[in-house]
Structure 1
Amino acid sequence: MTWNFSAERVDTPDATALRRDYFGDVAGRYFGRVLAEDEYDEDMIDDGLGLLAPPTGAFLVGRYEGKAAACGGIVLLDGDRAELTRVFLRPAFRGLGGADLLMTGLEDAARALGARRMVLNTRLDLVEARALYVRHGYGEIPAYCSGPYMEIWYGREL
């Protein structure tokens, strides 16, 4: 039973399916129900994807026993900071150690791009994600951006 993480283009079939599942999960929690297929807004799912590739970022896909199970991205904000985004594990693969490996891989990717600090924003209801970030040494920071789905901001030195 092994995990394998690698950088991948965001438009591969596995990466696209994972991003769509991520959006379905976070939007579904926000609205308190599973979204219907016609409620997915492709513009939202695809927003900012061009930045999730070198030299401005990276996107990792995690596979558990060969099955696409996790994803996450980083985007360089400036010379020192990278932003963590789209961190997601499919529910069937949670509790198998993949989240910690994904975080390590994303932090390594940020360092490789020259970042010395990682920041992120999230919602208060995403308690599993917030627990993961705190477990990895992230602490609350002042807001560095704003948006309708941003309620709390975290950061840490790499």
Structure 2
Amino acid sequence: MPTNWDIAPTGVHGPEAAEVLREYYRDIVGRYYGRTATEAEIDAAMAEEPSGALAPPEGLFLVARAPDRTSAGPMGCVGLHWFDGGRIAEIKRLFVAPAVRGLGGGVRLLEAIEKAAKEGGATLARLDTRSDLVEARRLYEANGYQEVAPFNEGAYAEHWFAKQL
């Protein structure tokens, strides 16, 4: 599995974040509807679930460039939002572009955000996901996350996971 992903923080309101978040929403909205998402549907989803909480000081947003494709722009992302005085880090928007899935990006992004969460003082990482995102659920379970009782009332949350850091 390649390890040379380039993963770095970026401003969640900047152009790189906007580019990769749009692709994230294109993917999850299309999967939700079972067809290609329209631009209006993507816009609506982005407005319904804004990413502003992933900005410092309460958050962090990382973008990833895939091995041998660093000039192609961001091919993945992950964010976190600290809660409970920084002891809890909620992972959000973990995404790897379909063109580079299977190259270890999901694991590398998860490792990077967990490291940042620990460095920020978190002792627990948590996240939620949908039932149709089976690859994401497998990734979390394979990396030590255990399904837990619901900790939020997210409109699309169907599974909740947590891991001690």
Q: TM-score range by the shorter chain?
A: over 0.9
Describe the SS at the equivalent of 1:73.
strand
Instruction: Work out whether residues 57 and 110 of structure 1, in 8 Å CA contact, stay in contact via their aligned partners in 2.
Output: no
1:152 alignment counterpart: 159
Alignment pair present for 1:11 and 2:13 = yes
Q: What amino acid sits opposite 1:72 in the alignment?
A: V
| TM-score normalised according to structure 2 size | 0.89
1:108 and 1:53 map into 2 onto residues whose CA distance is 17
Instruction: Write out per-residue CA displacement over residues 37-83 of structure 1, whole angstroms, 9 at most, x where no aligned residue.
Output: 222235x4254433212220100000123131110000012131110
2:98 alignment counterpart: 91
Q: Note the C-alpha offset of 1:21.
A: 0.9
Q: What amino acid sits opposite 1:77 in the alignment?
A: F
1:39 and 1:141 map into 2 onto residues whose CA distance is 30
Instruction: Work out whether residues 60 and 80 of structure 2, in 8 Å CA contact, stay in contact via their aligned partners in 1.
Output: yes
CA RMSD of aligned residues (A): 1.5
- Runs (4 or more) in structure 1 with deviation over 4 Å come to none
Identity %: 41
Q: What amino acid sits opposite 2:121 in the alignment?
A: G
Alignment pair present for 1:101 and 2:108 = yes
Instruction: Work out whether residues 57 and 113 of structure 1, in 8 Å CA contact, stay in contact via their aligned partners in 2.
Output: no
> How many residues are treated as equivalent by the alignment?
157
Q: Work out which of the residue numbers 47, 54, 57 in structure 1 matches 2:56.
A: 54
1:113 alignment counterpart: 120
Describe the SS at the equivalent of 2:27.
helix
Describe the SS at the equivalent of 1:99.
helix
Q: What amino acid sits opposite 1:32 in the alignment?
A: G
2:79 alignment counterpart: 73
| TM-score normalised according to structure 1 size | 0.93
